[in-house]
A = this chain, B = another copy of it.
Amino acid sequence: MATAGILIIGNEILSGKVSDTNSPYLCRELRALGVDVERILTIPDDVRVIAREVSALSEAYDVVFTSGGIGPTHDDLTMDGVALAFGRKVLRSDTIAERIERAQGKAPNESQLKMAMIPEDALLIDAGDLWFPVVVVENVYVLPGIPELLRKKFESVRERFRGVPVLLKRVFVKRRESDIAAELNALLEQYPELMLGSYPKIGEESFHVLLTLESRDAGYLQRALDALLGRLPTDSIYKVE
């Protein structure tokens, strides 16, 4: 199973001016592909902090996705941070400079050329109709902060991460969490590999708790589900999906 870490870079998230929709998107997509996201970290636009966290995440997980900080302005520091994390220089990519020129039909200005400055020996992967490619350094995929662009870029690399997906069953229960907690513990003793989540819902009339049962093994999941349904009173189940 592949593991992933997500690094969200941007003062605008920490200061509450913008809500991060990129990590929820990446979590959903990666889950569907079978990749386990083990950490999401949001940090400021600061080269040293970016470098330190890219380095730590790159060591801890199979793949790392960064979001944000790759534009032409003073607060776009991700390329410098990623380069620093791996002790690489930042060099002008002629390929990217040429793409900018082709896209706008004139030579790039100094600020645009900043966007062509990327870590030495980075891998460039074309992203659909976008002129700026996905930049990959070792196991780190550098993605933009703008949600529309992040999605396009992720789509262009997603098949690299396809593994064994996690299967999900959802059981909606008309009891309080504290009334079924003992049964959940007993179920986990019987099915220790089951990923079992229990989420109380407030302001919902038809059920009180959503249970999620997950496994990569369809047979194991079904047996665990049957065992759970056998343990709970029939009239406590609102629905199973």
Contacts and interface: CB of A to CB of B under 8 A. Distances in A.
Given A27-B15, A110-B182, A181-B114, A196 B148 contact: no
Nearest to A115: B178
Interface in A157-211: 166, 168, 177-179, 181-182, 184-185, 188, 195-200, 202-203
Given A14-B37, A41-B39, A195-B11, A181 B74 contact: yes
Q: How many copies of this protein are present in the complex?
A: 2
Contact of A14 (B29, B40, B196, B203): B40
B24 A16 contact: yes
Nearest to A147: B202
Interface residues of A, number: 63
A27 B39 contact: no
A186 B181 CA distance: 60
Given A39-B41, A111-B179, A177-B73, A202 B149 contact: yes
B72 A197 contact: no
23 contacts: A11-B195, A13-B40, A14-B27, A14-B37, A14-B38, A14-B39, A14-B40, A15-B27, A15-B166, A15-B214, A17-B31, A17-B168, A18-B199, A19-B24, A38-B44, A39-B43, A40-B41, A72-B177, A74-B185, A74-B198, A109-B179, A111-B178, A146-B202
Which 6 A/B pairs are nearest by Cβ-Cβ distance? A16-B27, A16-B28, A111-B181, A40-B42, A111-B178, A72-B178
